[in-house]
Structure 1
Amino acid sequence: MSSIRPWRDIARRPSRQIMVGNVPVGGGAPVTVQTMTNTPTSDARATIDQIRRCEEAGADIIRVSCPDVESTAAFKQIARASRVPLVADIHFHYQRALEAADAGAACLRINPGNIGSSERVAEVVRAAKANGCSIRIGVNAGSLERDLLEKYGEPCPEALVESALDHIKLLQDHDFHEYKVAVKASDVFLAVAAYTQLADAVDCPLHLGITEAGGLIGGTVKSAIGMGNLLWAGIGDTIRVSLSAEPEEEIRVGFEMLKALGIRNRGVRVVSCPSCARQGFDVIRTVQTLEERLQHIRTPMSLSVLGCVVNGPGEARETDIGLTGGGNGKHMVYLAGVTDHTVRDEGMIEHIVRLVEAKAAEIEAAQDAAATAQAAE
């Protein structure tokens, strides 16, 4: 089978690159995965604890809301404790943006047109430049400007794009170009159309999201349809999956989305069957347990878990480690696509976890050796 698979190629939209702290966004950099804390920001300890869980889940960037002076006062402590760059979420109160920039924000999420006069925009730009902050312009169908709603009659792609361009001009008028833009909507069709139009109109990085997507299941499906369409078309430089769920779940869903498209791999990609009467073990419970037990693995690799020999051997040939159900509680284990040994029901999960951990260590050691050899050349 040929290793060249043009039907899998995704040509990413060219864009300028900006920095969010030490994380590059756009310009060919890996698509980053973001989330947002939901603790009271004024409670620094609780917010830091939640940030730590998101970091463990793999968050590249984390957004923190700063609605009041108590929040920006706590932000300095939070920013010092965070291992990833923080975006300060600002609405209306330009003074909060100034405070957050001084407190260590790597990026400010604002709509320049919502914070008042041109002089206030200039103050925010000066603070951003002085502190090395980038800015995310966040246009949302649910909070479009009144004049645009009157002009278009309802939220539509043209209205979202016009709003984004208006906000961009306010920053460009002050010679500020370190920005990325989002044009979010809860309606999948509206969001996809708006992002598609905006992608043709600007060269800045785009932040993708289907806003207010819903709960864990419904929101995941909705986000995957909308953001998946855009990512497949090469549009999007950083993403946030907006779920009514814990922030770390947003990170996991985001990475699963990128893994499914082959855009970015992190951790174990599990291939598993939905199970049927042929299954030689409880596939559903086994997969659930393995996914939980293997969350700490960051090295990209693949694991197939199939309940019987109908599709099991074929899937196992395509994965690093494979498990196929057999009879009498005895199941086949594949390594690098080749049958290797059998394992019984008792201790099966522990055995697979150990194999995955060993494979991850092997891959990491090979990567380290290659990097050392390259550095020595």
Structure 2
Amino acid sequence: MRGLVALDRGRRDAYHRDHRAAPRQAPRTGNGKATDMSIRPWRDIHRRKSRRIMVGSVPVGGDAPITVQTMTNTLTTDAPATIRQVLACAEAGADIVRVSCPDEGSTRALREIVRESPVPIVADIHFHHRRAIEAAEAGAACLRINPGNIGKPERVREVIRAARDHGCSMRIGVNAGSLEPHLLEKYAEPCPEAMVESALEHAKILQDNDFHEFKISVKASDVFLTAAAYQALADACDHPLHLGVTEAGGLTSGGVKSAIGLGNLLWMGVGDTVRVSLSADPVEEVKIGFEILKSLNLRHRGVTIISCPSCARQGFDVIETVKALEERLAHIRTHMTLSVIGCVVNGPGEARETDIGFTGGGAGSGMVYLAGLQSHKMDNAGMLDHLVELVERKAEEIEAARAQAAAEAAAQAAE
């Protein structure tokens, strides 16, 4: 706040126009340590430093963007149905999609699924080491596996060889509901210590075989247990972490639990990739995963709508308008902000901070804001189509500017 106070109004308004809704990272000194010069220190998130691995073409960990994952719920043997779901998830923004491979028929179908997928495919494997080998051969980018469940050391080595030969990474997936008997006997119940110990035991198996391309998850359906386990694991190793509250529930209850659990960890800088586990369409998992990241300024995709809950002061039907906007702007991938506020109490202030805004003013019309400034009035009847047109036009301008900047940078590099 002190930094903002020091700016005069003109410089502050210019700053908001240039940096609206952008994440603010703390400046770094020559030794890489954060300084105290951040303009908005209360928005800074300093991510835990982790190793970087590759899941196909997608980097996970290090300074790579936090990725969003989901998992198909079709029969994997039904390749066409699974491919349709993978494509829908990718269109919604999924960076990585996981597919269960419980039998040989599933790994046979996996080859076609991988071939048609625009994003890396993770093969979910339990117990059968042959399925893991087949999945690697079929082109899976990553194997979700617990080395301790595979069996004899030689079988583990076979899986590692297959992963190494075919460029697969791995995920060690620890779940509070399936901890090893010796750990339950030692700790009496699932607890953070037991989950971390399980994860590190499995990690050691891979490390002893000189395999280091793996990430780890320690999931539980209990938010407190999940958060505590990930915090302890983050302190115990530098492996990239796959975050998730497992078996979180339905769309609403599971979305809330995931936002609390994952949001808390991400805010602390813990986590390199996320999956929101819901008893719902996988596309909804992707949407909620992105909304969690967007709310923390960790990822940006599409239009962020700032809207009021509405009340008797509203000059138009806010709820139905926002619902329609979400549907009609779902195709926009360019990041921008849109405020839709029913009256003039908070409307002008919110519009000042967004790329495009509309504030209800009564008498059947409202005010349109562009780049935080009043632009023109618009009647309520034409407001929806007008806002969609403005957003689409703004997206085109942003993408054109990016393309021009990229072309100029390429030209300079070629000189």
Q: Say whether the fold is shared (TM-score over 0.5).
A: yes
Q: Distance in 2 between matches of 1:245 and 1:343?
A: 38
- CA offset at residue 77 of structure 1? 0.3
Cα displacement (A) at 1:347: 2.7
SS in 2 for 1:289: helix
Tell me whether 1:183 sits opposite 2:204 in the alignment: no
Alignment of 1:297-336 (within 5 A): 297-336=332-371
Instruction: Spell out, residue by residue over 1:82-119, the C-alpha distance to the aligned partner (whole angstroms, 9 max, x if none).
Output: 00000000011111000000001000000000011100
The letter for the 1-side match of 2:106 is S
1: CA distance, partners of 2:104 / 2:382 = 54
Residue 9, structure 1, aligned to residue 44, structure 2: yes
| Stretch of structure 1 that moved more, 366-375 or 37-46 | 366-375
> 1:154 aligned to 2:189?
yes
**Cα distance, 1:291 vs. partner?**
0.8
TM-score if structure 2 supplies the norm length?
0.90
Q: Please list, as runs of the form range in 1=range in 2, the aligned pairs for 1:186-205 lying within 5 A after superposition.
A: 186-205=221-240
Alignment match, 1:372? 407
Mapping of 1:268-347 within 5 angstroms?
Answer: 268-347=303-382
Determine the structure 2 residue equivalent to 1:105.
Answer: 140
SS in 1 for 2:381: coil
- State the partner residue of 1:59: 94
Q: Deviations over 1:56-98 (max 9, x none)?
A: 1010000000011110010000000000000000011111000
TM-score by length of 1: 0.99
**In the aligned structure 1, how far is the partner of 2:255 from the partner of 2:111?**
33
Q: How does 1:338-357 map to 2 (within 5 A)?
A: 338-357=373-392
In the alignment, the residues of structure 2 paired with residue 60 and residue 10 of structure 1 have an alpha-carbon distance, to the nearest angstrom, of: 22
Unaligned runs of 5+ in 1: none
Paired position in structure 1 for 2:292: 257
1:341 Cα deviation after fit: 1.2
| 1:11-52 deviation per Cα after TM superposition (whole angstroms, max 9, x unaligned) | 000011000000000011000000000000000000000011
Secondary structure at 1:113 match in 2: helix
* 1:91 lines up with 2:126 in the alignment: yes
Distance 1:128 1:347 in 2: 57
1:361 aligns with 2:390: no
2:71 is matched with: 36
Aligned with residue 270 of structure 2, among 210, 223, 235 = 235
1:225 — aligned with what? 260
State the Cα RMSD in Å: 0.8
Give the distance between the partners of 1:361 and 1:240, measured in 2 at CA: 31
| Amino acid aligned to 1:260 | S
* 2:19 alignment counterpart: none
State the match for 2:21 in structure 1.
Answer: none
Equivalent residue of 1:347, what SS?
Answer: helix
Query: Partners of 2:138 and 2:46 in 1: how far apart?
Result: 38
What CA distance in whole angstroms lies between the structure 1 residues aligned with 2:285 and 2:395?
Answer: 24
Match of 1:171 in 2: 206
Describe the SS at the equivalent of 2:54. strand
CA distance in 1, matches of 2:159, 2:328: 45
Question: In structure 2, how many angstroms separate the alpha carbons of the residues matched to 1:89 and 1:344?
Answer: 53
Residue number in structure 2 paired with 1:139: 174
4+ residue runs of structure 1 moved beyond 3 angstroms?
none
Mapped to 2, the partners of 1:161 and 1:297 lie a distance apart of 40
Distance 1:240 1:290 in 2: 26
**Residue aligned with 1:274, SS:** coil
- Identity in percent: 71
Residue 328 of structure 1, CA deviation = 1.8
Equivalent residue pairs, number: 377
Q: Deviations over 1:167-196 (max 9, x none)?
A: 001111111000000000010000100000
The CA distance in 2 between the partners of 1:342 and 1:91, in whole Å, is: 60
Which letter does structure 1 place at the counterpart of 2:265? Answer: L
The amino acid of 2:216's aligned partner reads V
Could you tell me how far 1:345 is from its partner in structure 2? 2.1
The one-letter code sitting in structure 1 at the alignment partner of 2:178 is: S
Question: How far apart, CA to CA, are the structure 2 residues paired with 1:186 and 1:297?
Answer: 33
1:6, distance to aligned residue in structure 2 (A): 1.2
The aligned amino acid for 2:247 is E
For structure 2, which runs of at least 5 residues remain unmatched after alignment?
Answer: 8-14, 16-38
